[in-house]
Structure 1
Amino acid sequence: MKKKAIGSLVLVSAMAMGNMSAFAADATKNADGKYDPEITITIGKQLDENTGRYGDGEDINKNPMTELTRESLGINMETTLLGGDASNYETKLRLALTSSDDLPDVFPVYSAQLAADMIESGMVKDITEDIENYMPERLKEIYDQYPNTYSTVTNDGKIYGMAVSPHLTEGEVMIIRQDWLDKLGLKAPTTIDEFEEVIRAFTEDDPDGNGQKDTYGFTYEGDTIYNNGWCADPVTIFSVFSGDMLPGQWQEDEDGKLVYGSLDEGNKKALERMAKWHANGWTFQEAAATGAWDAMTQFTEGKAGIFIGRPWCIDSVRDVTSVAPEAVVKAYPNILQENGEMTYQDAELNDGWLMFKKDFDNMEAFFEYYDWAYNPAFGTNGFKYGYIEGYDYQIQGDKVVFDSNLFDPPVADAFMPGKSTVFKNSPGFSAMEAYAAVKDGKEPETGAEVRAAAHFESSYNCAEGYAIANDYKEYQNPSKFKAAPTASMSKYWEQLQTMEKQVYTNIIYGNESIDAFDKFVEDWYAQGGDKITEEVNEWYQSVK
């Protein structure tokens, strides 16, 4: 929904109400611009999102960040609903639906289905007018860049939530054992055929030089639908042949209608190629039963030579040097499509949506808090490097240090102010641009650029990965279906997903011929897929 559309809807609504003063603030401020008396806003949170150690006498509601919020704004952010992990947190929210009194004022929701259920319950607030009247202009400009993030929480033209800090997450890159390439006299691959030759050589030509056949080329996870969007992700291989029609995604065809990417003929070619690699032992043989992190561990253990993931994965696999002291890990652009263009990948624009209790009447105060929390991202109001010196950064002479292990003195498991909020992470922008700017020689100015420059010093190859990802960020392509399951999805989707995973895996593992793909497509439509496609497009037209 565009800004103009939101504004028009709000204006019409307000005129219909005949009361343009209905949005007056319900709390007062003192001469310092702080709420007086103090306002309390209750929040929900996953307990495992708070990382870092509390000091003596501190807890989730009494710590340096909550104190700073009170001192700066006169707002007390009080956590009242917790969940140990994502599943437990959602369970607690669903239990809270049995009584609106149990819902906190503000809470993040991480599934489209739960967001839809919240809206259906009538217990969450329509914030359409609040966005227009209270959201600061600099935040409106951010949300105007990502209008599709509203679609999941919009119903009958009304907005019942907002994406958490919308921005394009960092893209995936190809991560390679550079020392293996050098030993075998190879270059990083740019095409599917070059990729095949490298993974063959990494398997058969003894890249670690120990005289044993104990390595292979490519590790990936196949425990999901071969498109996980973060690490040990094989989706690049599919995009080589199918472009933006990626497994598990809904994308537009030439007529502007949504089609399910897993059915694209190009993915059949990808499966045929991956079946060849599997049969030759060039890829991780247990991928279908292994999650992303464990698949990436194959690289850390010195067994695999290539995986595809977000740039931070390079720091996550640095322990490969414990088994191979000579290991050098580098990032490269992903391989190209058959047509010579960059391959596509999935992308995230937000991590959940913020929703509000229906009778919550301090939206203006919340937006002040949200805007204040963005200060480190903008580098404004004295928050150039972070929130609190000594916790998320330390100034050492003319140098800013962000890794607490490098503080003077070092601090292990430091308290992280940006996570002691209603958000999982500090609100911010895509990190890729800052890394690219620093790599191109720009003098760091913003907090993000200073952090990027520090990362180049502490882990150059990882930081370079972010800059590389920035070069092809236009190929990060989120699925265009972002809503709760349709009626037919609720009936058929689970069995269709099971069938898809089984057929894809059986082809790769050589348990079925490549012709099984054609039968899968036929069965997919016949077993509810045609009706699902119809409903998905009805939704798409309604939000477009």
Structure 2
Amino acid sequence: MKSKKMAVILLLVSCSTTGCSVPNLANTKDAQSVAAAKPSIRIVANSLGMNFPDGMDENHNPYLDYMEKKIGVQVNVTLPPLNGYDEKLNVIMASGEPPDLLSTSDPSWFINFVNQKALTPLNDDIEKYGANLKSKIPKEAWDNVTVNGKIYAIPSLNEVKGTEIVYARKDWLDKLGLKPPKTIDEYKEVIKAFTERDPDGNGKKDTYGLSILERLRRTSPFLGAFGVQMNAWYERDGKLVYSGILPEMKEALLFFRNLYDEDLLDPEFPLNKIDVLGQKIVNGQVGLFSAAWSDTRSHIAENIKKDPNAVWIPLDFPTGPGGKHGVYSTSIVRSYNVVPVKSQKAEEVVKFLDFIAGPGQISLKLGFENEVWTRENGKLSIRFDQHTKQGYRGIYGALADMADRNVTQDRLQALGEQFHLYDNLQQIENNLMIDQFNGPPTPAMGKHQIKLSKLQEDTFTRIITGLSPIEEFDTFVKKWKESGGDEISGEVNEWWRDSKK
């Protein structure tokens, strides 16, 4: 694995940023259709990695036809590539002819364009045409998209309150005579054994004790053992302090650095996108990782299908020396739906999103009744072939997800009790570390957050991989503060004081 480490380090040192091209927003519907008398809107949405069945695409499918028929508005859809999605949105906004609706999950992107006065206030249109939005979106979510009394986005809500839960191969633990770990030290013992003691029994050193994702994602439970999470704000001495500059973060980075130095951490992690990590799990190279709550139905299930001897179990979240443990909490806002000021279609956009939030919610969440699902004696039953085939409906439903708890529980249990999806969510929700800043993004975040996030990601990755000493963390803290962090902290604490009045 030493050679892999060197290859990754060279790539980290030499990587460069590529440019973006402007998607062709006009080429989304047949010219004849666009010219129809029906009102039309152009939207840019996240594909969520979904695929369409043969003969269909984002502009030609039964779910889009269903929405267009119900609201009397023609919807022309563009799905930029997932990689660099928000950068593509920047290019689209600068193109001179932006669409009528753009959806982003990045609060910094949202507030940046609020600062530029590039977005349309939606208060009046929501009041007139957004009855479902008004009744189903809670005040906390509206507060996240309201600046100086003006609503600049329609929020889509997060269905889950947290994401990560640790899963491990019980068959590997049993083979090596190990118990499920509870403390962070016991976790390290298991990680070491899974790396060095040939848990798959093939006589090769080809398993990773722990694998994580690029940009230090899928690390939340391990950070929690040190009492910290990425990109959060915690109260210290009566003030909110950014998690990335706390001493606890330095301790967590040192933990990962030690794993890396001892060849216990996947050396390719700086290049691991989710599909890469997923394939390593499927192939039996990884026996312990911080899973998404839904991975039991995807990567883990695929591994079990490939290796019937594989047995996966959820672990207790690792506890640190001070008894700390937990995982990050998600924002109530999943994504921001904005209308550029150059658009004249705010009314149609609000009607479109109000339909998704209201009458269209069940069909877009569960699929068409009698095609994808039925209900017998009160119990939901899902046709899995059609559920998967029509999964692309989630692209549209995610634009105004109302996160109905009863629907979520019903759906997850119907997808297969053997996957423990709802159980996973409950375990996560019982161990959340709450981010204490839940206000709208501040103006300084719009100005500085992107560069500060990159500074943090680069510095932390370099520390873990040994390209920088651990002392570089102190330099990072100073630079973070000077490069806009202090300005952000001031605004966050102003919100903190006002919220207590």
User: How high is the TM-score relative to the length of structure 1?
Assistant: 0.71
2:428 to 469, 489, 492: 469
Higher relative contact order (CA closer than 8 Å, sequence separation 6+): 2
Shift of 1:542: 7.3
What corresponds to 2:265 in structure 1? 283
What corresponds to 1:483 in structure 2? 441
In structure 2, how many angstroms separate the alpha carbons of the residues matched to 1:339 and 1:157? 43
1:175–1:309: 8 Å Cα contact kept in structure 2? yes
In structure 2, how many angstroms separate the alpha carbons of the residues matched to 1:81 and 1:367? 14
What corresponds to 2:202 in structure 1? 210
Q: Deviations over 1:383-421 (max 9, x none)?
A: 69834135433579997543532xxxxx59623473363
Q: Does 1:68 align with 2:76?
A: no
What corresponds to 1:456 in structure 2? 416
SS of the residue corresponding to residue 218 of structure 1 reads coil
SS of the residue corresponding to residue 225 of structure 2 reads helix
Evaluate the alpha carbon distance shift between residue 186 and residue 115 of structure 1 in structure 2; reply closer, same or farther with a 3 A threshold: same
1:354 to 312, 320, 337: 337
Structure with max Cα Rg: 1
Evaluate the alpha carbon distance shift between residue 309 and residue 322 of structure 1 in structure 2; reply closer, same or farther with a 3 A threshold: closer
Evaluate the alpha carbon distance shift between residue 213 and residue 359 of structure 1 in structure 2; reply closer, same or farther with a 3 A threshold: closer
What corresponds to 1:201 in structure 2? 193
Q: Which runs of 5+ in 2 are unaligned?
A: 1-36
SS of the residue corresponding to residue 237 of structure 2 reads coil
SS of the residue corresponding to residue 202 of structure 1 reads helix
Q: CA RMSD in A?
A: 4.0
Q: Which runs of 5+ in 1 are unaligned?
A: 1-37, 377-382, 406-410, 434-445
In structure 2, how many angstroms separate the alpha carbons of the residues matched to 1:202 and 1:47? 37
Q: Does 1:427 align with 2:401?
A: yes
Q: Deviations over 1:265-322 (max 9, x none)?
A: 1122222222222222222122234334423433322222211021112222233246
What corresponds to 2:290 in structure 1? 308
Evaluate the alpha carbon distance shift between residue 213 and residue 522 of structure 1 in structure 2; reply closer, same or farther with a 3 A threshold: same
What corresponds to 1:345 in structure 2? 328
What corresponds to 2:245 in structure 1? 263
Tell me the matched-pair count. 459
Shift of 1:177: 0.8
Evaluate the alpha carbon distance shift between residue 291 and residue 524 of structure 1 in structure 2; reply closer, same or farther with a 3 A threshold: same
In structure 1, how many angstroms separate the alpha carbons of the residues matched to 2:61 and 2:322? 54
1:418–1:426: 8 Å Cα contact kept in structure 2? no
In structure 2, how many angstroms separate the alpha carbons of the residues matched to 1:289 and 1:428? 34
Evaluate the alpha carbon distance shift between residue 476 and residue 182 of structure 1 in structure 2; reply closer, same or farther with a 3 A threshold: farther
Letter in 2 for 1:261: S
Evaluate the alpha carbon distance shift between residue 254 and residue 510 of structure 1 in structure 2; reply closer, same or farther with a 3 A threshold: same
In structure 2, how many angstroms separate the alpha carbons of the residues matched to 1:449 and 1:248? 29
In structure 2, how many angstroms separate the alpha carbons of the residues matched to 1:47 and 1:251? 31
Evaluate the alpha carbon distance shift between residue 43 and residue 539 of structure 1 in structure 2; reply closer, same or farther with a 3 A threshold: farther
Evaluate the alpha carbon distance shift between residue 461 and residue 347 of structure 1 in structure 2; reply closer, same or farther with a 3 A threshold: same
Evaluate the alpha carbon distance shift between residue 508 and residue 390 of structure 1 in structure 2; reply closer, same or farther with a 3 A threshold: same
Spell out the pairing of 1:91-490 with structure 2 (5 A cutoff): 91=88, 94-95=91-92, 99=96, 103-104=99-100, 106-116=101-111, 118-119=113-114, 124-132=119-127, 134-136=129-131, 139-140=133-134, 142-144=136-138, 146-147=140-141, 150-151=143-144, 153-221=145-213, 223-224=214-215, 226=216, 228=217, 233-241=218-226, 243=227, 245-257=228-240, 259-317=241-299, 318-321=301-304, 324-356=307-339, 357=343, 360-361=346-347, 365-366=351-352, 368-373=354-359, 375-376=361-362, 386-393=366-373, 400-405=380-385, 414-416=389-391, 418-419=393-394, 421=396, 423-424=397-398, 427-429=401-403, 447-457=407-417, 459-462=418-421, 464-472=423-431, 474-475=432-433, 477=435, 480=438, 483=441, 486=444, 489-490=447-448
Evaluate the alpha carbon distance shift between residue 523 and residue 341 of structure 1 in structure 2; reply closer, same or farther with a 3 A threshold: closer
State the percentage of identical aligned residues: 21
Evaluate the alpha carbon distance shift between residue 254 and residue 292 of structure 1 in structure 2; reply closer, same or farther with a 3 A threshold: farther
Letter in 2 for 1:424: A
In structure 1, how many angstroms separate the alpha carbons of the residues matched to 2:459 and 2:48? 36
Letter in 1 for 2:403: F
Evaluate the alpha carbon distance shift between residue 90 and residue 281 of structure 1 in structure 2; reply closer, same or farther with a 3 A threshold: closer
1:236–1:334: 8 Å Cα contact kept in structure 2? yes
SS of the residue corresponding to residue 216 of structure 1 reads coil
Spell out the pairing of 1:495-514 with structure 2 (5 A cutoff): 497=453, 499-514=455-470
User: How high is the TM-score relative to the length of structure 2?
Assistant: 0.76
Evaluate the alpha carbon distance shift between residue 173 and residue 141 of structure 1 in structure 2; reply closer, same or farther with a 3 A threshold: farther
Evaluate the alpha carbon distance shift between residue 397 and residue 507 of structure 1 in structure 2; reply closer, same or farther with a 3 A threshold: same
SS of the residue corresponding to residue 288 of structure 2 reads strand
In structure 1, how many angstroms separate the alpha carbons of the residues matched to 2:72 and 2:49? 17
Q: Deviations over 1:191-212 (max 9, x none)?
A: 1122112112222333223343
1:336–1:342: 8 Å Cα contact kept in structure 2? yes
1:125–1:359: 8 Å Cα contact kept in structure 2? no
Q: Deviations over 1:28-66 (max 9, x none)?
A: xxxxxxxxxx9745240337359454576x664554324
In structure 2, how many angstroms separate the alpha carbons of the residues matched to 1:50 and 1:208? 31
